[in-house]
Amino acid sequence: MVERLLPTDEAVALVELATELAEAELAPRVDAFEARGEFPRDVFRTLGRAGLLGLPYPEEYGGGAVPYEVYLQVLEILASRWLAVAEGVSVHTLACYPLATYGTDLQRKRHLADMLGGELVGAYCLSEPQGGSDAASLRTRAVRDGESYVVNGTKAWITHAGEADFYNVFCRTGADGPDGISCLLAPASTAGLLPQAREKTMGLRSSPVAQVVLEDARIPAENLIGEEGAGFRIAMSALDSGRLGIAACAVGLAQGALDYCSRYAREREQFGRPIIDFQGLGFLLADLATQTSAARALTLHAARLRDAGRPYRVEAAKAKLFATDTAMRVTTEAIQVLGGYGYVSDHPVERYFREAKVLQIVEGTNQIQRLVIARSLAR
């Protein structure tokens, strides 16, 4: 049982709602959907109608006006039952960020309520086949033609590709380098916006990931988010928030794995007593519990800085780095606790292990997080 310190009674009620939905809607379905590799669209609709797809955004546009400190704990709870869903909520929240933060009042009034209302799912198209970490070198190009931009290029590793209702497309409208990048909001119905075959991923199999090819895709100029040339700044700002989302997902996954292997260790007997009573195993679980709590504390500290309007980029990098490395360790050791049973799909820890790895890669690899932190120390 996680002891949570929440700021308001409303936050307590929201976390309780998230827990109820996770138990009733996520936990019973995860194994079947992961086995089939099927995107759980109805689950996202359920979460959306409960208000969980727009938590950190303003109420006037259909959001929940919830502090990041609270939103991340909701994500954590979802991730402890079904990581693909929690990661999908985090990606959708990321996909709403450019419009919510940099869009005009007219753009927000026209689009944001539908994005936050629960019926739509978004995608964030930044990475490309030639470069993921080096986002400033992207090659997808948009050329202004009258009242539209004509876009050509290929985006890679796009979560919700083929399922999303809208795509944030980061593309080059100017010269090489970060100052030549812009952000366009493209409906899924855009002619020439072509999701490709899904990647065959090690984990998160119910979360579609694929390339998105743009072939003379014509996107209305009125869908430019911010000014021309502001795209890289928008992308990096969004990723600071997105990294907190992934950190929360990692904490939830670690907590789910810890809860499962601890319960197993209490019930499994060897030499006439529960294996948790053996010091070697008990101390291991104590270390895993401590590291999971530390990851949660680091993540929430960064979220509270964000909520207070203070700089949080470096703390978000620390949280993403530590929480995802912790999830990898906890899920690895959870298999060891179960022994041979941990290696088979009868128990979920083998899935937790496969899922944890991707969290060290998405929203900036952990090597990039170390680079962000090291540069802050060098200044």
Give the catalytic positions in this structure. 363
Q: Which two tokens stand for residue 88?
A: 């999908």
- CA separation, residue 57 to residues 53, 100, 119, 291 (Å): 9, 7, 16, 31
Residue linked to tokens 């004509």: 150
Q: Which two tokens stand for residue 36?
A: 């089939």
Cα pseudo-dihedral 123, 126, 132, 135, rounded to 10: -160
Query: Are 186 and 165 spatial neighbours (Cβ–Cβ below 8 Å)?
Result: no
Distance CA 168, CA 346 (A): 39
Q: Which two tokens stand for residue 375?
A: 């540069």
Radius of gyration of the chain (CA): 21
- CA separation, residue 77 to residues 72, 317, 370 (Å): 9, 21, 27
User: What does residue 29 show for φ and ψ, rounded to 5 degrees?
Assistant: -110, -20
Q: Which two tokens stand for residue 285?
A: 């679980």
Distance CA 104, CA 92 (A): 20
Q: How many CB atoms lie within 10 A of CB 109?
A: 12
Where are the extended beta strands (E) located within the chain? 122-125, 141-145, 148-159, 166-172, 181-187, 193-198, 209-220, 224-225, 269-270, 273-274
Instruction: Return the half-sphere exposure (C-beta side, CA atoms, 13 A cut-off) of residue 54.
Output: 27
Q: Which two tokens stand for residue 32?
A: 């079947």
* Residue among 243, 305, 245, 237 nearest 56 (CA): 245
Query: Are 238 and 59 spatial neighbours (Cβ–Cβ below 8 Å)?
Result: no
Residue linked to tokens 């739509």: 120
The H-or-E segment that residue 87 falls in is helix 83-102
